[in-house]
């Protein structure tokens, strides 16, 4: 491992990010100009797969077991040690409260022991700003779609410290719809990649699942999930297994269509020239293709983060911290985690 600042001096400030809002234990090293030196994710997907979803208590305990090793791996991969770190950034919400507390406690302890400042980061702001990282970062003003397991919304960003929500889901998030759909189809967890894989040989027009468009730019996916449940029951176990690919393809198409329709509407109603997508569902290939097509049609420039910046990760947290205030010691010791942030 390299020591000190010799390997990172040209990048300016060095930020250590920590993210433990759900079931991934994440740490990253990001420079002040948005270069990602490391982005380590220890996934708990297999651990929770047998339960069909994330079990909060199990996730919290696993974070405790992994966080030190993940932090060490992030520093090793970046080729720096703690002497090179200028600031610590950590997710303080929204998310699973027990999981969040593990990351926040680790960040507080590390920052206090090293005499560093600390920046609490809204997990959702991290997803919004994921495309500000890398060699060709997006710049405000821009609009974005964030679609993940717990959240789905469209937002407008005038400056990177905050964002204005244009529309959000009224019930299930898009990622939750994928997870619940996969469970109905007997595919397992996590649902998004499993449904995409099952849909590859299916016909997206084989079943006409509903699309719901409440409010101005809002989303709703609970009716879609119920429609799939009833269709599987009507078909019966044997037919449902035989038509699994068609069911998966049509269900995925309904989710992608609903997201794409709202993206087109939001862009048509605004004058923004730049658009970004983020969140775990942004890793879905049909969604990437649909949004790319919409942006081409409307003459809007599109930023799509690499797959590793779509799912939960600490690089987006460290990246967002670049635009936020750093709290001095001992002020940050009073910070608490929140399952929901205002």
Binning pLDDT at 50, 70 and 90, where does residue 342 land?
low
Binning pLDDT at 50, 70 and 90, where does residue 300 land?
very high
Of residues 50 and 187, which shows the higher confidence score?
A: 187
pLDDT for residue 295 is more than 60: yes
Query: What are 259-289's pLDDT values in tens digits?
Result: 999 999 999 988 899 999 999 999 999 999 9
How does the average pLDDT of the chain come out, rounded? 93
Contact 62, 294 (CB under 8 A): no
Return the pLDDT at 9: 41
Residue 228: partners with Cβ closer than 8 Å, 6 or more residues away? 181, 184, 185, 209, 247, 251
pLDDT for residue 1 is more than 50: no
pLDDT for residue 134 is more than 90: yes
Phi, psi dihedrals of residue 328, rounded to the nearest 5°? -85, 160
Q: Is the pTM of this model over 0.85?
A: yes
Contact 305, 278 (CB under 8 A): yes
Per-residue pLDDT, averaged over 83-107, amounts to: 97
Query: What are 237-251's pLDDT values in tens digits?
Result: 999 999 999 999 999
Binning pLDDT at 50, 70 and 90, where does residue 4 land?
very low
Nearest by Cα to 312 from 74, 53, 91: 91
Binning pLDDT at 50, 70 and 90, where does residue 55 land?
confident
Return the pLDDT at 78: 98
Six-digit token pair at 59? Answer: 């996730």
Per-residue pLDDT, averaged over 27-38, amounts to: 98
User: Token pair 């979803």 is at which residue?
Assistant: 53
Binning pLDDT at 50, 70 and 90, where does residue 58 land?
confident
Compute the distance between CA of residue 27 and CA of residue 31 in angstroms, rounded to an integer. 14
Return the pLDDT at 215: 82
Residue 66: partners with Cβ closer than 8 Å, 6 or more residues away? 25, 42
DSSP alpha helices (H): ranges in the chain?
45-49, 56-78, 97-114, 123-128, 174-184, 191-199, 222-242, 244-268, 285-298, 315-321
Return the pLDDT at 202: 98
pLDDT for residue 32 is more than 70: yes
Contact 263, 275 (CB under 8 A): yes
Compute the distance between CA of residue 268 and CA of residue 234 in angstroms, rounded to an integer. 39
Query: What are 305-337's pLDDT values in tens digits?
Result: 999 999 999 999 999 999 999 999 999 999 999
What is the DSSP-derived secondary structure letter of residue 149? S
Per-residue pLDDT, averaged over 43-62, amounts to: 78
**What residue ranges define each of the domains in the chain, with the CATH number in brackets?**
9-130+311-334 (3.30.420.40), 136-304 (3.30.420.40)
Per-residue pLDDT, averaged over 4-14, amounts to: 53
pLDDT for residue 7 is more than 50: no
Return the pLDDT at 189: 86
Of residues 247 and 54, which shows the higher confidence score?
A: 247
């Amino acid at each position: 491992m390299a020591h000190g600042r010799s390997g990172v001096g040209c990048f300016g400030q060095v930020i250590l990010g920590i993210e433990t809002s759900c079931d991934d234990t994440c740490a990253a090293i990001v420079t002040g100009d948005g270069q990602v030196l490391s982005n380590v994710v220890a996934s708990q997907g297999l651990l929770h797969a047998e339960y069909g979803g994330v079990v909060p208590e199990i996730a919290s305990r696993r974070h405790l077991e992994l966080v030190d090793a993940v932090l060490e791996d992030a520093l090793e991969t970046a080729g720096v040690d703690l002497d090179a770190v200028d600031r610590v950034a950590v997710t303080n919400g929204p998310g699973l409260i027990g999981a969040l507390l593990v990351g926040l406690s680790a960040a507080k302890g590390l920052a206090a022991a090293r005499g560093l400042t600390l920046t609490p980061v809204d997990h959702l702001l991290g997803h919004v700003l994921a495309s500000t990282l890398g060699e060709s970062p997006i710049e405000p003003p821009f609009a974005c779609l964030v679609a993940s397991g717990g959240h789905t919304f469209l937002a407008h960003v005038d400056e990177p410290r905050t964002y204005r929500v244009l529309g959000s889901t009224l019930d299930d998030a898009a990622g939750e719809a994928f997870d619940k759909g996969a469970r109905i189809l007997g595919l397992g967890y996590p649902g998004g990649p499993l449904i995409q894989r099952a849909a590859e040989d299916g016909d997206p027009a084989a079943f006409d699942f509903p699309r719901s468009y409440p409010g101005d730019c809002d989303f709703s996916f609970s009716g879609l999930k119920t429609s799939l449940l009833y269709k599987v029951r009507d078909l019966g176990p044997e037919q449902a297994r035989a038509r699994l690919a068609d069911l998966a393809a049509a269900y995925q198409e309904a989710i992608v269509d609903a997201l794409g329709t709202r993206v087109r509407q939001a862009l048509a109603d605004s004058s923004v020239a730049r658009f970004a997508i983020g969140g775990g569902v942004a890793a879905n290939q049909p969604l990437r293709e649909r949004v790319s097509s919409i942006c081409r049609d409307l003459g809007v420039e599109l930023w799509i983060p690499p797959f590793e910046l779509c799912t939960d990760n600490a690089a987006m947290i460290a990246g967002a911290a670049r635009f936020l205030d750093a709290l001095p010691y001992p002020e940050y010791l009073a910070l608490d985690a929140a399952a929901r942030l205002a």
